[in-house]
Structure 1
Amino acid sequence: MANNLQDSVQQPSFSYRELVDALVDRGYLVVDDFLSPELTKALRDEITELNRMGIERAGIGRGGALQVNDDIRSDKTQWIEGETSAQQQFLSQCDDLRSEINRHLFMGLHDYEAHFAVYEPGSFYQKHLDAFKGRSNRVLTNVIYLNEHWESEWGGELAVYDEADQLIERVLPKGGRAIFFLSERFPHEVLKTTKQRLSIAGWYRINSSTGSYIDPAR
């Protein structure tokens, strides 16, 4: 399976320059078919099996301050560690993109981290920022959707707001689609879903620590 999957992986259907230009012009970009159908399916199968085995509810905060709050978010998450061929290929594609962004924008992106996210029917994530100015090393967020099919009446869209808190985008979680946005600039929320919603959330980070340690720890 790994060899067949590797042979089927395609480069993103958009140019890296398109993303670079969008980040400069407006700070975000929605991309269809960021992942090939084969890689999307392989990752969807993995998250489905992980969920069947049992993954943990997502929390708010990090480290010792981590806590589950049903009023803010109700998804379940599992960090992607590159343990399978599909995960390795996904992480490699995202790292290639990191290198291209650094080459054109000199953003100093140091690494990339991501987790699977499962939203069961009735789940949501209230409006929030992924990073606060000067207080986080997360610089660029991406969200990639894994469901094979999605209808607009099922909900579960990612609602994205500008810095004046005006709605600017509602992204339907169509399989293979991705959105990229500057983490400090765009409040966003996952609207309540009526169907199981599968995705990956990831962050490109700078090294804001001393020595060889990344801060904050994941």
Structure 2
Amino acid sequence: MAIEVLHLDAACDNSVHEVLFEKIANDLLEKGYSITPTGLPLELVDAIQTDIAQLGHTEFSPAAIGRHDDTSLNKFVRTDSICWIEGEMPGCAAWNAWMEELKLYLNRRLYLGLFAFESHVAQYQPGNFYKRHVDAFRGGNNRVLSVVSYFNSGWNPDDGGELVLYKDDEDMVGIKVTPAAGTLVIFLSEEFPHEVLPANRTRHSIAGWFRQIPGSDHLLELPDSAGSPI
């Protein structure tokens, strides 16, 4: 299948996105997470929205919980549907390229040893949710950084569907992130429990994970101040 090359012009040139990448790196060092409204280049948001609009319902499958051979459907935990990104559509190919640049920057800046990235489009119909969970277990040396981005234009507070990011297992308040188009969230996969609240309209996002080189000991340690309420 031929892939159209999508060129992200001024909004995604080096001078612009490296400012964002540096902000993300500093945020990760200081508190372990980074939240940037309108963080994604507009051209990239538009291209991915076009790709999503072209996906039929048959492209999405009910999301499972667990990893590898130990997966199962659990409607008490999550009710969204997902479509894994393989880069065969223009917007998704550009997304993978943008994540590759972010990976290279964070490896230079933070010495994380990131080597692979995987992601999927998630579709939440009205009432869908994903209960509180973590993306990686401590010591598993698998998912290191979690990435979430949103592609919902004209999202209003009454639409719900917020991501809630918690600072630790004891935090019952967390910080709510509105799933508005272009918002970019990145956090340490082992450190932050999170959940997706039910939405009142169809909601689209991309969730992705950077993995480390097997056996890597490049772990980003949070400063003591990162334990303060978020």
Q: TM (normalized to structure 2)?
A: 0.84
The partner residue of 2:81 within 76, 97, 104 is 76
**CA distance in structure 2 between the partners assigned to 1:202 and 1:96 by the alignment:** 15
Q: What is the CA-CA distance between 1:104 and the residue it aligns to?
A: 1.1
Partner in structure 1 of residue 97 of structure 2: 92
- Is 1:21 the counterpart of 2:26? The answer is yes
- Is 1:204 the counterpart of 2:210? The answer is yes
CA contact (8 A) 1:14 1:31 kept: no
The one-letter amino acid of 1:204's match is F
Residue 66 of structure 2 aligns to a residue whose secondary structure is: coil
**CA distance in structure 1 between the partners assigned to 2:137 and 2:47 by the alignment:** 34
Q: What is the CA-CA distance between 1:185 and the residue it aligns to?
A: 0.4
Q: What is the CA-CA distance between 1:53 and the residue it aligns to?
A: 3.8
Partner in structure 2 of residue 214 of structure 1: none
Partner in structure 1 of residue 224 of structure 2: none
Q: What is the CA-CA distance between 1:47 and the residue it aligns to?
A: 2.0
Residue 181 of structure 1 aligns to a residue whose secondary structure is: strand
Residue 114 of structure 2 aligns to a residue whose secondary structure is: coil
CA change 1:53–1:9 in 2 (3 A) is: farther
Q: Which runs of 5+ in 1 are unaligned?
A: 210-218
Q: What is the CA-CA distance between 1:33 and the residue it aligns to?
A: 2.3
CA change 1:129–1:9 in 2 (3 A) is: farther
**Higher mean C-alpha deviation, range 85-94 or range 73-82:** 85-94
**CA distance in structure 1 between the partners assigned to 2:10 and 2:56 by the alignment:** 24
Partner in structure 1 of residue 187 of structure 2: 181
The one-letter amino acid of 1:200's match is I
Residue 39 of structure 1 aligns to a residue whose secondary structure is: helix
- Is 1:155 the counterpart of 2:156? The answer is no
Q: What is the CA-CA distance between 1:98 and the residue it aligns to?
A: 0.6
The one-letter amino acid of 2:26's match is D
CA change 1:195–1:106 in 2 (3 A) is: same
**CA distance in structure 2 between the partners assigned to 1:50 and 1:95 by the alignment:** 24
Residue 202 of structure 1 aligns to a residue whose secondary structure is: strand
Residue 118 of structure 2 aligns to a residue whose secondary structure is: strand
What does residue range 57-76 of structure 1 map to in structure 2 within 5 Å?
57-76=62-81
**CA distance in structure 2 between the partners assigned to 1:73 and 1:48 by the alignment:** 23
The one-letter amino acid of 1:83's match is E
- Is 1:130 the counterpart of 2:135? The answer is yes
**CA distance in structure 2 between the partners assigned to 1:183 and 1:28 by the alignment:** 10
Partner in structure 1 of residue 7 of structure 2: 6
- Is 1:169 the counterpart of 2:175? The answer is yes
CA contact (8 A) 2:114 2:210 kept: yes
CA change 1:146–1:186 in 2 (3 A) is: same
**Higher mean C-alpha deviation, range 68-77 or range 85-94:** 85-94
CA contact (8 A) 2:60 2:83 kept: yes
CA change 1:120–1:13 in 2 (3 A) is: farther
RMSD: 2.0
Percentage identity across aligned positions?
A: 36
CA contact (8 A) 2:83 2:120 kept: yes
**CA distance in structure 2 between the partners assigned to 1:127 and 1:14 by the alignment:** 32
Q: TM (normalized to structure 1)?
A: 0.89
Q: What is the CA-CA distance between 1:157 and the residue it aligns to?
A: 0.2
Matched length: 209
Q: What is the CA-CA distance between 1:38 and the residue it aligns to?
A: 2.7
Residue 110 of structure 1 aligns to a residue whose secondary structure is: strand
